[in-house]
Amino acid sequence: MPRRLRPRRPSTPAFLLTPLIVLALSGCGAPPPLGEQQLYAEANNEFEHGNFNLASQRYDELLEQYPFSELSEISRLRVGQAYYLNGDYDKAVASFTDFERLHPTSPLLPFVEYTIGMSHLDQARSRDRDKSATDNALRQFDGVSERYHASIYGRLADYRMGQCEQKLASHELYVGDYYVKIGQVTAGLARYRYILDFYPSSDAAILGAERLGLPTEDYGPDAPERNSGVEIVEIPAESVLDENLGLE
């Protein structure tokens, strides 16, 4: 008997299958990205709990997904803060430098530039080590003092400059003593003289004057002509930032 032919089912056109494939894939794909407010809230929560690595990651996600958000400026600031508070000082300097470039008219710049200086200063080592971090900090604070002298950060920068000069003078005294110890007296005396010329208000200047056989009352922080009578009170930078700018 002749074989009966089974009628073929009509095939579904490919263009009709495409929406079905898209729908199927969308049902099992990655969850939708978080909104900028939710990302910012999560980042702030991690920041406030001291989880600075996670906080910086969340802020970076916000900046990547919403580069033109109104929250981008404060998020970029918080990235630098998170690096600084986590002890990642080089990353903090790089992040704050990016902030300066991207937000050249921001009211946050005094805080940013001051914290760059702190990132350098906190890397300063003992007096027998390389002093480049202290040199960088001194230059940074000098600029902050000049540009923002009337602000709290200008006054804090003045205070930090004094700390830097104390460290640098102590380093010079250490080097001078070393030269004298190994018999290079002329080089050692030159170091003591350098302290008196460039860091006369430092504690090391008193010792340098003693080693040079000079009167010590003309040197040091309590010398009459160097004591302005104004006491600089240190204020934590983080609290100043939040109080002055209304940031939460």
What secondary structure does DSSP assign to 117-169, as a single string? HHHHHTT---TTS--HHHHHHHHHHHHHHHHSTTSHHHHHHHHHHHHHHHHHH
Angle, in degrees to the nearest 10, between helices 237-245 and 109-121? 170
The single residue listed with the structure tokens 């998020």 is: 75
> Residue 224: its pLDDT value, please?
63
Angle, in degrees to the nearest 10, between helices 52-65 and 36-48? 160
Torsion angle, CA of 150/141/120/126, rounded to 10 degrees? -120
Torsion angle, CA of 72/136/51/156, rounded to 10 degrees? -80
Angle, in degrees to the nearest 10, between helices 152-181 and 237-245? 160
User: What's the mean pLDDT in 98-117?
Assistant: 96
In terms of Cβ atoms closer than 10 Å to its own Cβ (0-12, 13-18, 19+), residue 221 is middle
How remote is the C-alpha of 166 from its chain's centroid?
A: 22
> Residue 235: its pLDDT value, please?
45
Q: How confident is the model at residue 205 (pLDDT cuts 50, 70, 90)?
A: very high
The single residue listed with the structure tokens 């609290």 is: 239
Measured in residues, the chain has a length of: 248
What is the C-alpha separation between 248 and 238, in angstroms, rounded? 11
Residue 208 near residue 176 (C-beta atoms within 8 A): yes
Q: Which of 34, 56, 33 is nearest to 44 (CA)?
A: 56
> Residue 225: its pLDDT value, please?
55
What is the C-alpha separation between 55 and 174, in angstroms, rounded? 41
User: What's the mean pLDDT in 143-165?
Assistant: 95
- Condensed to tens digits (0 to 9), the pLDDT of residues 1-49 reads 555 555 555 555 544 444 444 444 444 556 666 788 999 999 999 999 9
pLDDT above 60 (res 53): yes
